[in-house]
Chains A and B, each alone.
Chain A
Amino acid sequence: DTGVSQDPRHKITKRGQNVTFRCDPISEHNRLYWYRQTLGQGPEFLTYFQNEAQLEKSRLLSDRFSAERPKGSFSTLEIQRTEQGDSAMYLCASSPTWGTGELFFGEGSRLTVL
């Protein structure tokens, strides 16, 4: 039984560097979401895909952030020119298009920007 997997689990980078996170959703799930969670806060919605189409982006997703899901399977989230404020846990979730509404989250990718 494979759930949502994310890679890397931890990333430490210096300010100004680019980082990329990968998410592999549950295979039969058409929808894929990215959320960001900072310490002591709830997850905040960033963006979501229906298959390969990016249907919504939060205002939190600045121009330095880009997400792709080129073949409707895995997704990548890239952050360019990282800033210390980007330090957070980046959570990926997936769901079927017609389901109960449940999101299945991965364990997250923790980013630390020095």
Chain B
Amino acid sequence: QQQVKQSPQSLIVQKGGISIINCAYENTAFDYFPWYQQFPGKGPALLIAIRPDVSEKKEGRFTISFNKSAKQFSLHIMDSQPGDSATYFCAASQDPTGTASKLTFGTGTRLQVTL
């Protein structure tokens, strides 16, 4: 069973702080690692994604750090805002055609950003 393990299960961060969520995977064939954000009553939406040929990717306040040798990757949310309060899922997939299709998701982290 291919797995992606995510921690912590929940996280409370003060406004302006840094939120850090970690994931670890087992299947070395995975070559695409996205993070999805899900608000209550909504479907997940892509936040940011990385391929294993780079160790870090930054988009605005969101950064993915990737450690291929450790088979770990993490999401950092800088200057966390109350609007960031949501559930975050890491995921991974392999696709020989070069485009991701079947994603294996982590169990999710519920982030609450307090004032």
Q: Roughly how many angstroms separate A103 CA and B41 CA in the complex, as a whole number? A: 18
Contact digits for A89-107, partner B, Cβ 8 Å, 1 yes 0 no: 0010101011111110111
Q: Does A48 contact B (CB under 8 A)?
A: yes
B43/A45 in contact, CB under 8 A = no
Could you tell me the distance in whole angstroms from the C-beta of B3 to the nearest C-beta in chain A?
11
How many residues on chain A are close to B (CB under 8 Å)? 25
Q: Roughly how many angstroms separate A63 CA and B100 CA in the complex, as a whole number? A: 27
Could you tell me the distance in whole angstroms from the C-beta of A107 to the nearest C-beta in chain B?
5
B99/A45 in contact, CB under 8 A = no
**Contact A41:B108 (CB < 8 A) given known A101-B49, A102-B34:** yes
Residue of A nearest to B89 (CB): A42
Q: Does B61 contact A (CB under 8 A)?
A: no
A101/B32 in contact, CB under 8 A = yes
Interface contact tally, CB-CB below 8 A = 62
Contact digits for B12-42, partner A, Cβ 8 Å, 1 yes 0 no: 0000000000000000000010100000011
Contact digits for A73-111, partner B, Cβ 8 Å, 1 yes 0 no: 000000000000000000101010111111101111000
**Contact A42:B107 (CB < 8 A) given known A48-B101, A101-B100:** yes
A107/B41 in contact, CB under 8 A = yes
Q: Does B93 contact A (CB under 8 A)?
A: yes
Interface centre among A4, A45, A99 (most CB of B within 10 A): A45
B43/A93 in contact, CB under 8 A = yes
Q: Does A16 contact B (CB under 8 A)?
A: no
Interface centre among A56, A98, A103, A107 (most CB of B within 10 A): A103
**Contact A45:B45 (CB < 8 A) given known A101-B32, A102-B34:** no
A105/B43 in contact, CB under 8 A = yes
Could you tell me the distance in whole angstroms from the C-beta of B11 to the nearest C-beta in chain A?
15
B49/A95 in contact, CB under 8 A = no
Identify which of A31, A43, A99 contacts B105 (C-beta below 8 A): A43
Q: Roughly how many angstroms separate A98 CA and B4 CA in the complex, as a whole number? A: 25
Q: Roughly how many angstroms separate A91 CA and B89 CA in the complex, as a whole number? A: 15
A contacts, CB < 8 Å to B: 4, 31, 33, 40-45, 48, 56, 91, 93, 95, 97-103, 105-108
